[in-house]
Chain A
Amino acid sequence: MDEKTIIAKRIALELHDGDLVNLGIGIPTMVADYLEPGKNVVLQCENGIIGIGPLSDTSTELVNAGGICATILPGGCFFDSAMSFSIIRGGHVDLTVLGALEVDQEGSLASWIIPGKKVPGMGGAMDLVVGAKKVIIAMTHTNKGIPKILKKCTLPLTAYKEANLIVTEMAVMAVQNDGLHLLEVNPQYTVDQVIQATEAPLRVDHVIPMKGIE
């Protein structure tokens, strides 16, 4: 199983029946593929749709937040961007999953700009992490060995103290008031290896094998 699949499968367990969920582009989008059959999760895309369905190669008037043609499920609806971000910012989205370049021990995250190198922009990410009830970061644990989970983010922030859970191919970590708690470790790695790959200190109380990836 590759890193992305491990991350997506583990995060799928965090989505609950009846949740209104926004999935970012990349690994977060893959989470929808690993939901338990019968679990009724409602997906929202910030371009103005609740109830987005599988991708399609025929539609031209319906795209997902990545601009890819998609479908709408029964009961779904369309709305404009002001309504979409009122839903997001107003706290009506239960959960958002997004990628990040860096996350720190306080739950601050950086995801939209590498000054002087790459400036794609924040899109809807700043509103999503501020507005969603729960924020899950889906990312590889390091950037080719360089830690991405830091004491303090070095890149310009997407938001200050908004991340709740970090899921990587190595581990699951919760952001709490006293720092990062290591909750689960992928059995392919040891707790020490996770600590080595993480710049921020990890509180290690009761660690269990990573769920959902067997």
Chain B
Amino acid sequence: MKSFIDEKTFQSLLHDGMTLMVGGFLSNGSPERLIGAILDTSITDLTIICNDGGFEDRGVGRLIVAGRVKKLIASHIGTNPTAGRLMQEGKLIVTLIPQGSLIEKIRAHGAGLGGILTPTGLNTIVAEGKRVIQVQGRDYLLEEPLRADLALIGGAIADRYGNLRYRGTMRNFNPIIAMAADTVVAEPSTIVEMLDPEIIITPYPLVDYILKEEFR
């Protein structure tokens, strides 16, 4: 059985300068209550690894707008104008990585691999400083693994064991980041007694904490 925690316990896991992976694609499937709980603390200097920069009022975009993020590793920041402005002003370090390479770098760490070889980004500025390795006569770019201190999972339905399945397109990065961080916290929209074992996407031993349902 998992630890079902409240926002206060979640906040005790946070510290300045930590690296967070956050699920969601343009904030669809982002853990909004956990993001709100971070904003209720004074935690800052975060490194955020996420598909994108979210929106100014949704997803990881809220942390960026609040000045809590030192570095963002993402594939796209076009929907969050503040992220672009902070980057131009030198107040936010942004590392852009092709989406398919970003998810595979995360998967590589979670799967115990030393990186992945991809044709994506060859002959572009993405390849700068990276090794090109030839396999079976074709060139590939070596993309190294990516890890985090904490992964924040959204878009899920949990059972009381801590197993997760995901709703619609909210799956996106969530099950992959659940493999790649030292500590994993899930924010399910619903907690049920037991999920059908055939449809579980993230097995419960991979999840450390589950945020309790909100009392309404």
Interface residues in A53-71 by Cβ distance below 8 A to B read 59, 61-63, 65-67
Q: Interface residues of B: mostly helix, strand, loop or mixed? A: mixed
Q: A67-B25, A156-B124, A157-B123 are in contact. Are A120 and B75 (CB under 8 A)?
A: no
A28 to B99, CA, bound (A): 19
Contacts of A112 in B (CB 8 A): 96
Q: Are A80 and B173 in contact (CB under 8 A)?
A: yes
Pull 9 A–B residue pairs with CB atoms less than 8 Å apart, ordered by A: A61-B170, A62-B168, A63-B25, A66-B26, A78-B166, A81-B173, A121-B75, A123-B78, A123-B99
Chain A nearest Cβ from B51, distance in angstroms: 7
Contacts of A42 in B (CB 8 A): none
Q: Are B176 and A124 in contact (CB under 8 A)?
A: no
Q: Is B76 an interface residue (CB 8 A)?
A: yes
Q: A78-B171, A81-B51, A127-B98 are in contact. Are A63 and B28 (CB under 8 A)?
A: yes
A70 to B2, CA, bound (A): 34
* Most chain A Cβ neighbours within 10 Å, of B51, B96, B100, B121: B100
Q: Are B169 and A48 in contact (CB under 8 A)?
A: yes
Question: Nearest 3 A-B pairs (CB), nearest first?
Answer: A120-B78, A85-B100, A67-B26
Chain A, residue nearest B77 (CB): A121
Binding site for B on A (CB under 8 A): 45-49, 59, 61-63, 65-67, 72, 78-82, 85, 88-89, 108, 112, 118-127, 130-131, 156-160
Contacts of B175 in A (CB 8 A): 80
Q: Interface residues of A: mostly helix, strand, loop or mixed? A: loop
Chain A, residue nearest B51 (CB): A81
Q: Are B27 and A67 in contact (CB under 8 A)?
A: yes
* Most chain A Cβ neighbours within 10 Å, of B104, B118, B123, B171: B171
Chain A, residue nearest B78 (CB): A120
Q: A81-B103, A126-B126 are in contact. List 16 more A-B contacts (CB 8 A).
A: A47-B26, A47-B172, A48-B25, A48-B169, A80-B173, A85-B99, A85-B100, A119-B87, A119-B96, A120-B78, A121-B52, A123-B52, A126-B100, A126-B121, A157-B125, A159-B123
Chain B, residue nearest A126 (CB): B98
Binding site for A on B (CB under 8 A): 25-28, 51-52, 74-79, 84, 87, 94, 96, 98-101, 103-104, 107, 118-126, 155, 166-176, 201
Query: Residue B122 contacts which of A63, A72, A120, A160 (CB distance < 8 angstroms)?
Result: A160
Q: Are B25 and A130 in contact (CB under 8 A)?
A: no
Chain B nearest Cβ from A207, distance in angstroms: 32
Q: Are B169 and A126 in contact (CB under 8 A)?
A: no
* Most chain B Cβ neighbours within 10 Å, of A121, A125, A130, A156: A121
Q: A48-B171, A81-B176, A122-B98 are in contact. Are A61 and B155 (CB under 8 A)?
A: yes
Q: Are A124 and B27 in contact (CB under 8 A)?
A: no
Chain B nearest Cβ from A91, distance in angstroms: 11
Q: Are B176 and A67 in contact (CB under 8 A)?
A: no
Q: Are A124 and B96 in contact (CB under 8 A)?
A: no
A59 to B120, CA, bound (A): 33
* Most chain B Cβ neighbours within 10 Å, of A80, A89, A156: A80
A118 to B88, CA, bound (A): 9
